[in-house]
Amino acid sequence: MTEALWTAQEIATATDGQFVSAFSVQGVSIDTRTVETGDLFVALAGARDGHDFIAQALEKGAAGALASRPSPGHSVQVSDTFKALEALGLAARVRAPQARRGAVTGSVGKTSVTQAIRAGIGLAGRSHSSVKSYNNHIGVPLTLARMPRDTERAIFEIGMNHADEITPLSKMVAPHAAAITTVGPVHVENFPDGVLGVARAKAEIFHGMSPGGIAVLNADNPWFEFLSSEAGKAGLHVQAFGASSDCAAQLVSFKPEAGYAQVRARLHGQALDFPIRQTGFHWGPNSMAVLLMLEALDVSLEHSLEALAAFQPLEGRGAEHQVNITGGAFTLVDESYNANPISMSAALASLGARSVRGRRIVALTDMLELGDEGPNYHAALVEPLSAADIDLVFCAGPLMKSLWDALPSTRRGGYALSAVDLAPQIAQVVEPGDLVMVKGSNGSKAGVVATALGALNRGPEGKR
């Protein structure tokens, strides 16, 4: 019989709550759309009060609820359900002292890196991790609260939009190892001191770590020295990754092909040559960060390389699809989940390194939260587009108008104010053999373009 994740008594003890009748749960949920049989449904207050959905959660199989007012079925009553969720997460960490915990933050790539580490710790033993992008003030305690008591290794993603958001989450997780993938102008409009403010906010991840922990840092990033200094102040050991031979994990070369890349590296001086199922250049340094984090979490190199070789791109983060159209097929690279100047330049460079039968085409939507410099960041994409030898550029959004105006006429594919209006323009010109990448911020609806292009698939004969 499977051991309960939590009993009502354990929940009540952790949250200073009360219950009437005993029950136990196998999971924790905050959303009736994803609640599963045996879950504890946490009724969080928000734009929609979770208490209004307790009955629905019970109908879908929830074993009980964590609530702050009388509710149907089994429940633990607390004064504040959000604080109770935090307390439950902390209790989960405390009751599993054997668990080796890691955390990932950074301006670019934290979700993909977290999920790749998840694949590695999954091969090594009993593991636990964040799902999707559960990296905020709700997602982190929720992930902790779901952690089984016999967990051996766990990995958490920690994000932020403002200063002072990472510190409490790091203290909650108390990671033994933490990685900062990179620092750049992301959410920069929320920081009066610009990217320095972003770097300081990312360094908050050190605040929850004990002296002797491991900080995995990007030596190729301009903020490496600052972050190393902050890690030193916290008594941490820095493990660097990057192009320099001084790095613990040195990236020697990264060669993208159709659907994969070959990576050459040196890990503590040991030569490595391995494939990964990623084509974006940012996965060169990302794979180095993954290797160092898995090492810090006591995962063997064999399991680490096995995980990297099998880890597929996440939807919206580099996943590739062959789309059949009349006369053949084109390759769609879906980078629509998010974008900023760093990831945009890396994605364009990756596209430029690929061999193609047809043309290199990009569909770009606005990069958001860049502040007053937003138009300039967009116009500056002219250089990486030229360096990557992109044949046609399609742009959507008011910020991308700055890039459109800066493009030479020979590269202009089409412009629209919205992503919805851009997709049909690309559909009219795409041809078999073309390599098409869609990238932009989630808020500027880049996914709409990717979905529309993927829907062009007409089957093997190019017929609907």
pLDDT at 459: 52
DSSP string, 410-444: GGEEEEESSHHHHHHHHHHH--TT-EEEEE--GGG
Segment (H or E) for 333:
strand 328-335
Token digits of residue 349: 């460079």
Q: How far is CA 104 from the centre of its chain?
A: 9
CA distance 116 to 119: 5
CA distance 207 to 376: 34
What's the pTM? 0.84
pLDDT tens digits, 183-192? 988 777 788 8
Separation in Å, CA 183 to CA 200, 207, 339, 346: 10, 17, 14, 14
pLDDT at 97: 97
Helix 195-203 vs helix 224-233: crossing angle, to nearest 10: 30
CA distance 108 to 106: 6
Token digits of residue 333: 């690279």
Q: Which domains does the chain possess?
A: 6-81 (3.40.1390.10), 96-310 (3.40.1190.10), 319-454 (3.90.190.20)
CB 68 within 8 A of CB 78: yes
Which DSSP symbol is given to 383? H
CB 342 within 8 A of CB 446: no
CB 276 within 8 A of CB 269: no
Which DSSP symbol is given to 140? H
Phi, psi of 111 (to 5 degrees): -70, -45
pLDDT at 353: 84
The band of 458, judged by pLDDT with boundaries at 50, 70 and 90, is low
pLDDT tens digits, 234-268? 999 999 999 999 999 999 999 988 778 999 999 99
pLDDT over 60 (residue 461): no
Largest CA distance in the chain: 72
CA angle 448, 453, 456 (to 5 degrees): 130
CA distance 40 to 55: 12
CA-closest candidate to residue 165, choices 204, 206, 217, 130:
204
Q: Count Cβ atoms below 10 Å from residue 270 Cβ, excluding itself.
A: 8
CB 42 within 8 A of CB 50: yes
pLDDT tens digits, 299-335? 999 999 999 999 987 777 788 889 999 999 999 999 9
